[in-house]
Amino acid sequence: MNRTVYDAFRCLNLLATANRPQGIREMGRELELDSAKVTRLMQTLLALDMVQRHASRKYSLGIGIHRLSAHAIHNSAFYNAVMDLLEESGDRAISIVIGVLSGKNVVYLIHTRGGNSIARAIGNYESYPVHDSVIGIKLLSAMSDEEIISQIGIHDYQLLKKDIDEARRHQVFAKDFGSGDYRLACNIPGMQAAIALSNISSKKIDRESLRLYLTAAAKRISGESLPIL
């Protein structure tokens, strides 16, 4: 592993998840890095426009990272498949969500929020606790017990064990969060991501059809050319 590249990405990730500009010393404390090393990394990233330095001598993401993101999304087979899927989706009352694990949280890459425009659905990078997300539970179910404990700790693993075991038994994991909040989740083949449907409140909705829709959508996003039902 190239440690310099690794630490540079850690710095970028910290700036991406922070809600305010960060100083050299606080970045060093958070990442357990020497301040001199953080300074060198920031100087390199500054030269690449990946970060910007404020008058307060603190740093935030620069225009270069947004330019990189734009190119990545434009040329991404993943996002192109997702956008095609969203444009073809019929029932906008049901939310379509795609997420990935980040420690004890799930980060949502896509969230239509039941009727929101596609533009607002893309890049919905909010984080939610893994125990409050069918996506989180489904992604954990693909890991070994040891990996799960390393990821979220023994306490949270024990709290989620019943749901994780259930998610392992079914391709599509279903969970009722109460008050008509029924959700379905399915792992996307070949990716460390999962797709889910939420806001499923009506008892009249054919849940088996939704399961078929979800598995077809997951395969389509992964690159398998299956039709969406």
pLDDT by position in tens, the chain (length 229): 789 999 999 999 999 888 899 999 999 999 999 999 999 999 999 999 999 999 999 999 999 998 998 888 778 777 778 877 777 765 567 888 899 998 899 988 888 876 566 666 676 667 889 988 999 999 999 999 999 999 999 999 999 999 999 999 999 999 988 777 789 999 999 999 999 988 877 565 678 888 998 999 899 888 764 444 4
Identify the CA nearest to 219 among candidates 111, 81, 73: 81
Work out the number of other CB atoms within 10 angstroms of the CB of residue 157: 17
Give 76-222's CATH code, choosing from 3.30.450.40, 3.30.70.270, 3.40.1350.10, 3.50.30.30. Answer: 3.30.450.40
User: Model pTM?
Assistant: 0.75
The CATH number of 3-66, from 1.10.10.10, 3.10.450.40, 3.30.470.10, 3.40.50.970, is 1.10.10.10
Which pLDDT score is estimated for 226?
43
The torsion of the CA quartet 207, 210, 212, 213, rounded to 10 degrees, works out to 170
Least Cα distance to 98 among 13, 221, 10 occurs for 221
The domain spans of the chain are 3-66, 76-222
Q: How far apart are CA 44 and CA 39, in angstroms?
A: 9
Burial of 128 from C-beta contacts in 10 A (0-12 / 13-18 / 19+): middle
Looking only at the bridges linking them, the beta strands covering 127-129 and 182-187 are: unpaired
